[in-house]
């Protein structure tokens, strides 16, 4: 991470020659070239990438264990002393720590201005068309049991969409598929 002229931190992604072994025991090279000789970077090691963000940026975790409890209330109470939070989050099954969903909160419009919906707004907003967050999260807990919501609040000079895309790509490269509750990349 380096500091840019405006005092914000910039995430530096330099091409790296490295081989990693993913969960399916397939090797993945982080840097390669296409037929024209241009360098392409392949992101892998989802857990390492998320852990480095978790350790270098403001971050935290909270649980949702009771499908009868209001998820919206739990999320709002967890973040009650903070506002305009921008970042990424991961839903994990608590018992196995399997990743169920990778998401983001905080969007920039085409004029470079932040929209109103932040991380808390995204977590507590309607899901899958018209399903309330309470209903959606209760349904997840009913199927997989208690979940963890791990989040990273970004102070980096990049958008949550960029970091979310990197995490999704790393997960896809490591596992050959997206988390079961993500619909696409």
In-domain check, residue 69: yes
pLDDT tens-place string over residues 142-174: 999 999 999 999 886 788 999 999 999 999 999
In-domain check, residue 185: no
**Confidence (pLDDT) at 185:** 58
**Confidence (pLDDT) at 42:** 63
In-domain check, residue 184: no
In-domain check, residue 126: yes
In-domain check, residue 181: no
Domain membership of residue 153 as a residue range: 2-175
Averaged pLDDT, groups of 10, the chain, 185 residues long: 38 36 37 44 81 90 95 94 87 97 91 85 85 93 96 86 93 94 78
**Confidence (pLDDT) at 180:** 94
**Confidence (pLDDT) at 4:** 39
Number of domains in the chain: 1
In-domain check, residue 93: yes
**φ and ψ at residue 3, rounded to 5 degrees:** -100, 130
In-domain check, residue 136: yes
**Confidence (pLDDT) at 116:** 80
Q: Are 108 and 159 in contact (CB under 8 A)?
A: yes
The beta strand positions in the chain, using DSSP E, are 2-3, 9-10, 19-21, 27-29, 31-33, 39-41, 59-64, 87-93, 99-105, 147-153
**Confidence (pLDDT) at 148:** 97
pLDDT tens-place string over residues 76-96: 999 998 877 899 999 999 999
The structure's pTM equals: 0.76
**Confidence (pLDDT) at 7:** 36
């Amino acid at each position: 991470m380096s500091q840019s002229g405006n005092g914000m931190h910039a995430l530096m992604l330099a091409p790296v020659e490295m081989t990693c072994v993913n969960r399916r025991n397939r090797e993945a090279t982080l840097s390669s070239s296409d037929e024209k000789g241009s360098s392409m970077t392949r992101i892998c090691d989802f857990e390492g990438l998320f852990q480095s963000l978790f350790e270098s940026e403001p971050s935290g975790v909270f649980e949702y264990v009771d499908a009868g409890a209001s998820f919206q209330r739990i999320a709002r109470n967890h973040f009650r002393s903070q506002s305009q939070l921008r970042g990424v989050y991961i839903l994990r099954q608590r018992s196995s720590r399997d990743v169920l969903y990778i998401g983001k909160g905080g969007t920039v419009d085409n004029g470079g201005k932040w929209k109103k919906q932040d991380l808390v707004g995204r977590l507590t907003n309607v899901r899958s068309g018209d399903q309330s967050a309470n209903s959606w999260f209760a349904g997840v807990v009913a199927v997989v049991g208690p979940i963890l919501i791990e989040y990273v609040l970004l102070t980096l000079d990049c958008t949550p969409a960029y970091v979310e895309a990197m995490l999704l790509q790393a997960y896809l490269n490591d596992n050959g598929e997206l988390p079961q509750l993500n619909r696409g990349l």
